[in-house]
Chain A
């Protein structure tokens, strides 16, 4: 039952055609290489702009919210006014989490790209 069977096939006559790796396409600046490069740039740019945009809008909302709803300015959290809680402390963890999120995804994009272009 557990006996090993060697699976063999007929030997090919022709030597296998070596497909060029994408790295070579990129080096030669072919259309294919260009497509890979543009895809990489677009993915990275989209990620960067998304993180920058989300954080910027979140932070930029703060003055606007206080301008539109002045009542919020005097809300307290354990004796500390809300604007101080937000700008003096709460904003920093948001920035760090956003940076960490970006880092993970940017490295993943690069790993995927490397795998793709090294494949033959």
Chain B
């Protein structure tokens, strides 16, 4: 799509090499198993906050938000707001106690607090499910990016990301990951900030044209669109185009009048639309007039208010339950540092999230053909080259490509470490020779499944799938953490019941949507945005069942509460539970 793929390839290779190099630098610092996992908690809050930001800003943030804003406008601004506010909820409800618990992983926390292996196992399964759900769109996005900037086949992206992640994760474990991710936050911020400044200057110099004219979007001038992947388009008005390629199954190279309705266009086709033609949308996108695009509560199907609130709940309360977020907290030296780190993270995220919506809004004006190809997630990658010509444009495209690649690498590394940790500790058990070998086997498994799904599965909007992962996290681990930290009477049967009923219901709703696609009416809204009913359901089940099973209250709950809530500088008995102990058992 840009002049030459060389700059894009160079940028991606650069990111990969730097990632592996920093990873190798980190290896020298690794001495013990505990080092390997959590960098001995010797990471300063500033490094740690950058690393948390770097790890958290995934493909959904870097590419997905802009793509959704391009297609659906104002309502999609809730995604960045929710991703950020999630850290506030995490700070005020769980940050310090979670760090003080000394748990590496969510199953560790569940076991330490509820003194039950059943709850540990249930949590492990959910961690793996959420991790895979979150990894899947990262790999899809990697395929999209490499194809957009270099023209490589779709399988190259997922494969390349998986290999780099595997090398850096297997090499250095957590400590190297910390430095890699701190670097990647700043790379991602730069990669979005610099090109958007150029883009805004171009927009300004053109007299600030209206981003979304009130009517349905049209091609402002005669526009040639290359179709990168097979797509079914919905043509609103009959239009005569110059077609070269395969349309509706027939090879064609002449003027063609597309009738209103659906048409199938195969990859490699080139369509040239006349000026002022209404833009046909890919069938999976719902066309929006500019007027609706600029206003809230216009997308989200038949029940926009419900969908908006459910999304807000999922994002606000899902963050604390994401598997890769908790591990990061362990790298703080104490609970107080955990709080301060979270405040820093909140600030870093607030700066970053100002940028993606700008790409989406400018994309509505400058890259409207993405509505036709359906690849709206590519807007961040295409916009800089579209607005800035020549070498400068290529350099900016290379920069965003590097940033995007950093986004997949950092989030997938973090998730891989978490999922691999859980897989090796809880699900592979002692079948592995030693912890490190088990961890390596876990890492390979953690990557294989989502890569396979990304290569075979249906294409869904990146930010949508990530939103589903948040909904599951909000309906499972959020109630477990909040009740576990603040309510002594939570019992292990209550926790397990809540995780299975609420977490299971949310997972089932999400799986249904992924398999059968969006549905109409109330049922569709409830399935597509489950958090508003599944999260209260989990809380209710956990509380009710706990009240019925009070004889299973953890015997050491009072000691655990001392451990969770008192500042570390007080000389108190905090119990003997030690997450590292499992590694030293014979």
Residues of chain A at the chain B interface (Cβ within 8 Å):
23, 26-27, 29, 34, 37, 40-41, 44-45, 47-49, 51-52, 55-56, 59-60, 62-64, 66-67, 73-74, 79, 81, 83-84, 87-89, 91-93, 95-96, 98-100, 102-103, 106-107, 110, 113-114, 117-118
Asked if B558 and A29 sit within 8 Å, CB to CB, the answer is: yes
Asked if A34 and B84 sit within 8 Å, CB to CB, the answer is: no
Interface assignment of B160: CB less than 8 Å from any CB of chain A:
no
Query: How close is A103's CB to chain B, nearest CB, in angstroms?
Result: 5
| Residues of the A chain whose Cβ atoms lie less than 8 Å from the Cβ of B343 | 96, 99-100, 103
Complex Cα gap A103–B77 (Å): 27
Interface membership of chain B positions 39-56, coded 1 if the CB is closer than 8 angstroms to chain A and 0 otherwise: 000000000000000000
Q: In chain B, residues 555-576, which have Cβ atoms closer than 8 Å to a Cβ of chain A?
A: 558-559, 561-562, 565-567, 569-573
Asked if B305 and A106 sit within 8 Å, CB to CB, the answer is: no
A-B contacts, 6 of them at CB < 8 A, read: A37-B565, A51-B92, A55-B88, A56-B89, A113-B567, A114-B567
Asked if B571 and A23 sit within 8 Å, CB to CB, the answer is: yes
Asked if B572 and A23 sit within 8 Å, CB to CB, the answer is: yes
| Residues of the A chain whose Cβ atoms lie less than 8 Å from the Cβ of B91 | 99, 102-103
Complex Cα gap A68–B195 (Å): 38
Complex Cα gap A16–B46 (Å): 48
Interface membership of chain B positions 148-184, coded 1 if the CB is closer than 8 angstroms to chain A and 0 otherwise: 0000000000000000000000000000000000000
Q: How many chain B residues have a CB neighbour from A under 8 Å?
A: 47
Interface assignment of B232: CB less than 8 Å from any CB of chain A:
no
Query: How close is A43's CB to chain B, nearest CB, in angstroms?
Result: 10
Asked if A92 and B305 sit within 8 Å, CB to CB, the answer is: no
Within 8 Å by CB of A63, from B85, B296, B347, lies B296
Interface assignment of B297: CB less than 8 Å from any CB of chain A:
yes
| Residues of the A chain whose Cβ atoms lie less than 8 Å from the Cβ of B87 | 99
Query: How close is B237's CB to chain A, nearest CB, in angstroms?
Result: 27
Asked if B350 and A63 sit within 8 Å, CB to CB, the answer is: no
Residue among A27, A59, A102, A110 having the largest count of chain B Cβ atoms under 10 Å: A110
Asked if B342 and A99 sit within 8 Å, CB to CB, the answer is: yes
Within 8 Å by CB of B85, from A55, A64, A102, A106, lies A55
| Residues of the B chain whose Cβ atoms lie less than 8 Å from the Cβ of A84 | 74, 77, 294, 357
Complex Cα gap A81–B291 (Å): 11
Asked if A73 and B296 sit within 8 Å, CB to CB, the answer is: yes
Asked if A81 and B297 sit within 8 Å, CB to CB, the answer is: no
| Residues of the B chain whose Cβ atoms lie less than 8 Å from the Cβ of A56 | 89, 316
Asked if B567 and A87 sit within 8 Å, CB to CB, the answer is: no
Within 8 Å by CB of B565, from A27, A40, A52, lies A40
Asked if A26 and B92 sit within 8 Å, CB to CB, the answer is: no
Residues of chain B at the chain A interface (Cβ within 8 Å):
74, 77-78, 81, 84-85, 87-89, 91-93, 96, 208, 294-297, 305, 308-309, 312, 316, 336, 339-340, 342-343, 346-347, 350, 353-354, 357, 486, 558-559, 561-562, 565-567, 569-573
Asked if B296 and A99 sit within 8 Å, CB to CB, the answer is: no
Asked if A48 and B84 sit within 8 Å, CB to CB, the answer is: no
**Nearest opposing residue in chain B for A42, CB measure:** B486
Complex Cα gap A96–B343 (Å): 7
**Given contact pairs A26-B572, A34-B558, A48 touches B93 in the complex (Cβ within 8 A):** yes
| Residues of the B chain whose Cβ atoms lie less than 8 Å from the Cβ of A44 | 565
Complex Cα gap A64–B297 (Å): 10
Within 8 Å by CB of A96, from B96, B346, B353, lies B346
Asked if B572 and A102 sit within 8 Å, CB to CB, the answer is: no
**Nearest opposing residue in chain B for A110, CB measure:** B567
Asked if B486 and A67 sit within 8 Å, CB to CB, the answer is: no
| Residues of the B chain whose Cβ atoms lie less than 8 Å from the Cβ of A96 | 343, 346-347, 350
Complex Cα gap A52–B96 (Å): 15
| Residues of the A chain whose Cβ atoms lie less than 8 Å from the Cβ of B77 | 83-84, 87-88
Query: How close is B290's CB to chain A, nearest CB, in angstroms?
Result: 12
Asked if A60 and B85 sit within 8 Å, CB to CB, the answer is: no
**Given contact pairs A37-B561, A67-B305, A103-B340, A89 touches B354 in the complex (Cβ within 8 A):** yes
Asked if B336 and A47 sit within 8 Å, CB to CB, the answer is: no
Asked if A66 and B297 sit within 8 Å, CB to CB, the answer is: yes
Asked if A41 and B486 sit within 8 Å, CB to CB, the answer is: yes
Complex Cα gap A100–B573 (Å): 30
| Residues of the A chain whose Cβ atoms lie less than 8 Å from the Cβ of B339 | 103, 106-107
Asked if B78 and A87 sit within 8 Å, CB to CB, the answer is: yes
| Residues of the A chain whose Cβ atoms lie less than 8 Å from the Cβ of B92 | 47-49, 51-52, 99, 102
Complex Cα gap A29–B555 (Å): 13
Complex Cα gap A70–B567 (Å): 49
Residue among A51, A88, A100, A102 having the largest count of chain B Cβ atoms under 10 Å: A88
Within 8 Å by CB of B346, from A81, A99, A107, lies A99
Asked if A95 and B346 sit within 8 Å, CB to CB, the answer is: yes
Complex Cα gap A88–B93 (Å): 25
Asked if B558 and A95 sit within 8 Å, CB to CB, the answer is: no
Complex Cα gap A95–B87 (Å): 9
Complex Cα gap A62–B573 (Å): 46
Asked if B309 and A60 sit within 8 Å, CB to CB, the answer is: yes
| Residues of the A chain whose Cβ atoms lie less than 8 Å from the Cβ of B296 | 62-63, 66, 73, 83, 87
| Residues of the A chain whose Cβ atoms lie less than 8 Å from the Cβ of B295 | 66, 73-74, 81, 83
**Nearest opposing residue in chain B for A55, CB measure:** B88
Asked if B88 and A107 sit within 8 Å, CB to CB, the answer is: no
Complex Cα gap A23–B350 (Å): 40
